[in-house]
Structure 1
Amino acid sequence: MSDEAVQIIARGPRTVAEAAAEAIENNLATEAVTFSILEEDEERDVWRIDAFPNDPDERAAAVEILKGYPELRTVVEKLADADWLAMALSGLPPVRAGRFFVYGAHDKGLAPASTVNLRIEAGAAFGTGHHGTTVGCLQAFHDLLKAQRFERVLDVGCGTGVLAIAAARTGSRIAVGTDIDAPSVRIANENAALNQCDARFVHASGLNDQKVRAEGPYDLVFANILAPPLVALSQDIKLALKPGGIAILSGLLRTQERRVLAAYMSKGFRLVRRLHRDAWATLVLKRA
């Protein structure tokens, strides 16, 4: 299969699948591999990992990791020579998370009149609203909005920009997103224009970038990234927030909750709420 695009599929018990997914996420050789983990058959306790390596080296590394879990049934399938990302997105249904309805161009006519409708086109960026982490962030934000509004919002690792756009569409005066990936920033700004909102996205390598600090301190920070950078950024996220500000963290597996939570509690945060969707976790924290 040399340079052909492939999909790696692994099935097995939840505990084994979660451990394998964490191993893929934490291995330097596979840190850029896009993957998902979800429950496929509740009665039989079958969970499924879908991984999409970018090159042969990542494919070999991911397969080698999965071989270390013999209870998983792993197959590698060739992807057809086509824009498989666009094809996959065209088949995705719209997503409802609280007051938010996330949809693509193919479902424009399905948007209800009673929801905050967010048209999100992914391109090469992460965050269409279908992933458990993005849904968790939107649901957590919806619930927080029942009691308060957030004037200044920052989205760390913005991907498609869906979270900052959701904030701008629900009254946040300042909604800034940042990403280390320049194409994601371009896509996020295009999505902001599609949604006719004032969310702004910048290419920056960290929260100390002047383009990020200029609008702070923030009332709320989204960080839907991965567990290791969430831990590494705990102090920077604290400094980006006002005292009493809220952090909504996701991109972590349930098995990684304790490590991420410990890092933030050591900085004076307290846990407000946790949400689970499939194997993924979302944490809502409040800065002291």
Structure 2
Amino acid sequence: MPLGSRFRGSTRVSSWKITLPCTKAEAEAVEREESPFAAFENPPVLMSSEPDETKPDEWRLDGYFETAPTPDDIALFRTLAPSAERIEPSIEQLADEDWVTMSQQGLEPIRAGRFFVHTPAHRDAIPADAIALEIDAGRAFGTGQHETTTGCLLAMDRLKEGAISFDNILDLGTGTGLLAFAALKLWPDAKVAASDIDPVSIDVSAENAAINGIPTGTGKGEVELIVAAGMEHPRLAARAPYDLIVANILAGPLIDLAPSVAAALAPGGRLILAGLLNTQAEAVTSAYRRQGLMGSFDIVRGDWTILTMRKRKALGWQ
């Protein structure tokens, strides 16, 4: 199953493919980190996959280029798989392909609690009892395929099962907008903000909001999309305090953001933290405990831990 992709363009083109073996960690890095080709006018589609489930650390990285890759393209692609530095990449020209279809190959729908996250290719497979969200393979992280995104969906689903209600929600580091949309589906009367440091992610989120019929704006039942580097952004500060913050980022930034995130959380508010490996969970938990938060429950998905915490009511906010 491909971990992720970066996609641009939807025309039928004569394309080229570069393939290298890689480790699982390198495949996950392709999903989580910005592509080194991001500044290219026509960046390649990057797809990572696990060819043999009996060999869990032997993965494959494919790069699909619209034109014949140059030596510089090949050298840059090789930086994505340092473990294969002594292996010559496979390079082949492909027949005309539909890039949208190609980018979606192997991206199976994800069922996470009541959520069903799918690409356009699986619109006919939506279960009758599911909350369906369509997120195409694209230029931003958060298609639902990664364990951290799935874990956040499961955490929100569990909070909903506990009859917990939220009125003011923030999806910090939104990527595709998926988690913000999911939150609004669970708590349709809430005000929701979705922020990301990357303007491309906010553009992608706006596109996905339109596809899924998600109202955008600043009122109840709407999602406000904000380009913001941190909690100090005027719009994020003005909307505080939040009674639910979801942050699917990385362990390092989560630790750095602990004081400002905790300060923006309302007394008794809930916090979902993801993007951290199991080995990083203790450090992230400690950072937020020092800010007065208590652990509620954890969800472990493979190598990844999703933390759910609660702010002590006596602390107030700011």
Counterpart of 1:269 (choices 290, 293, 313) is 293
Q: Secondary structure at the match of 1:256?
A: helix
Which letter does structure 1 place at the counterpart of 2:116?
F
What percent of counterpart residues are identical?
34
Hey, what's the Cα distance between the residues in 2 that align with 1:284 and 1:187? 27
Map of 1:124 onto structure 2: 139
Counterpart of 1:100 (choices 112, 115, 132) is 115
Map of 2:3 onto structure 1: none
Map of 1:14 onto structure 2: none
Map of 2:210 onto structure 1: 193
Counterpart of 1:219 (choices 243, 247, 262) is 243
Counterpart of 2:283 (choices 252, 259, 279) is 259
Which letter does structure 2 place at the counterpart of 1:109?
D
Counterpart of 2:230 (choices 201, 206, 212) is 206
Map of 2:165 onto structure 1: 149
Which letter does structure 1 place at the counterpart of 2:201?
S
Deviations 1:61-109 (A, max 9, x none): 5544x379xxxx9885558677767523243111100011111111111
Hey, what's the Cα distance between the residues in 2 that align with 1:254 and 1:278? 8
Provide TM-score, normalisation by structure 1.
Answer: 0.79
Deviates more, 1:77-86 or 1:187-196: 77-86
Per-residue deviation, 1:47: 2.9
* Alignment coverage as a number of residue pairs: 267
Unaligned stretches of 5+ residues in structure 2: 1-15, 36-45, 66-72, 215-221, 313-318
Greater Cα radius of gyration, structure 1 or 2: 2
Q: Is the 8 A contact 1:38 1:279 kept in 2?
A: no
Q: 1:183 to 1:21 in 2, by over 3 A?
A: closer
Q: Is the 8 A contact 1:161 1:188 kept in 2?
A: yes
Provide TM-score, normalisation by structure 2.
Answer: 0.72
Q: Secondary structure at the match of 1:47?
A: coil
Per-residue deviation, 1:200: 2.3
Unaligned stretches of 5+ residues in structure 1: 12-16
Which letter does structure 1 place at the counterpart of 2:34?
A
Per-residue deviation, 1:269: 1.6
Give the aligned CA root-mean-square deviation in angstroms: 3.3
Counterpart of 1:166 (choices 182, 187, 201) is 182
Which letter does structure 2 place at the counterpart of 1:137?
C
Q: Is the 8 A contact 1:97 1:139 kept in 2?
A: yes
Q: 1:209 to 1:90 in 2, by over 3 A?
A: same
2:57 is aligned with 1:47: yes
Per-residue deviation, 1:183: 1.3
